[in-house]
Amino acid sequence: MSLSIKELLESKGIKAREKHLEILDTRWKGMADLRGDLDGVAIDDADIGMRNIPGGDHVE
């Protein structure tokens, strides 16, 4: 059984308004859907790296 967003936050001592809980629940479900798409994908194919280069884009 998975915890609801409200139960999870309350277990950490965080109290959120009902309006915020609805938004968080929608986003949580969206992230879970995206994570589900990675089942069966080789981890090397799913690894994305990003780096910040001060001064703008550089092509070497």
Q: Would the pTM count as exceeding 0.95?
A: no
| 9 within 8 A of 25, measured Cβ to Cβ | no
Cα gap 13→11, rounded to integer Å: 6
Strands (E), 1-60: none
Cα gap 25→39, rounded to integer Å: 22
**pLDDT, tens only, 10-57:** 999 998 898 998 898 888 888 888 777 666 777 776 667 777 777 766
